[in-house]
Amino acid sequence: MVQMLQAERNYLFFLLSKKEYSRFELKSKLKARNKLSHDEIEALLTEFSDQNWQSDRRLTEMLVASYLNKHYGKGRIIQKLVYEKQVDKVIVESVLSEQAIDWFHQASQCYENKYHSDIKDIKDKQKRIQYLLRQGHDYTTAVEVVGNIQL
């Protein structure tokens, strides 16, 4: 049993040597291998967290920086981290609040990267607002970025 635990520990080291993973992702990978009990998995993950070999906060900081480079809005960043990576929302909110993020600038950059022409009509304007909403920007900011058009 000790060998099995050491083998799984080595497996986690191998995974974490390639990239950062959330605790949830590592737990899923260990469960899929079906070699340890639930209690053993939790103990192993706690050891990795305690030794700071795995950190949801570090993962969040790294991914927030990456998502900001892609000009995602707050909603999309939270969705990707909380619902896809299963990182605690408190950690995500904390990391976001520590950053001096200009969400209007983020939305403007997102818009400028996608659209290079003038708005044709009201349908085109709505399509552009919807795009910004899908990227996680709030409605007020999206409308402000797209601006008013005269038809």
Distance separating alpha carbons of residues 74 and 21, to the nearest angstrom: 21
Question: Within a 13 Å sphere around the CA of 151, how many CA atoms are in the beta-carbon half?
Answer: 6
Structure tokens at 34: 């079906």
**Greater pLDDT, 131 or 118:** 131
Structure tokens at 143: 């409308």
The SS3 of residue 29 is helix
- Does the predicted model carry a pTM greater than 0.85? yes
For 35-54, give the DSSP string.
-S-HHHHHHHHHHHHHTTSS
Give the mean pLDDT of 90-101: 95
Per residue in 47-87, pLDDT (tens digit) is 999 999 999 999 999 999 999 999 999 999 999 999 999 99
Structure tokens at 68: 């900001």
Torsion sign across C-alpha atoms 55, 56, 61, 62: positive
Q: Are 145 and 104 in contact (CB under 8 A)?
A: yes
Q: What's the chain's length in residues?
A: 151
- What percentage of the chain has pLDDT greater than the value 90? 88
